[in-house]
Amino acid sequence: MSLAESFGQSGLAHFINSRAGRVMRLALGVGLVGYGFTQRANQTGLILMVIGLIPLLTGTFDVCLISGLLGGPFSGARLRNKRAP
């Protein structure tokens, strides 16, 4: 079994691609972008805003970067379908 397949079957992959996981990523992204916006006068704020876009966009577009980086599908829907019996 490849690393991508084992990740796709893990509980972490299941949670990240569930509705609760997507909401968590969206909230994390909004929080990081919001906090970064309050600190935008310095470089740290700008970095936080850019980093916050990653979970915000992955939650919005139902993408799993971890799976994609491991060689599996980027699509959260494809990961959910693979896990279903």
Domain ranges, ordered by start, for the chain: 1-17+63-85, 28-61
Q: Rg of the Cα trace of the chain?
A: 15
pTM above 0.75? Answer: yes
Burial of 30 (0-12, 13-18, 19+ CB in 10 A): middle
Euclidean distance between the first and final Cα of the chain, in Å? Answer: 18
Give the single-character DSSP code of 4: H
Q: Give the confidence band of 83 by pLDDT, cuts at 50, 70, 90.
A: low
Q: What is the pLDDT of residues 18-71, one digit of tens each?
A: 899 899 999 999 999 999 999 999 999 999 999 999 999 999 999 988 888 888
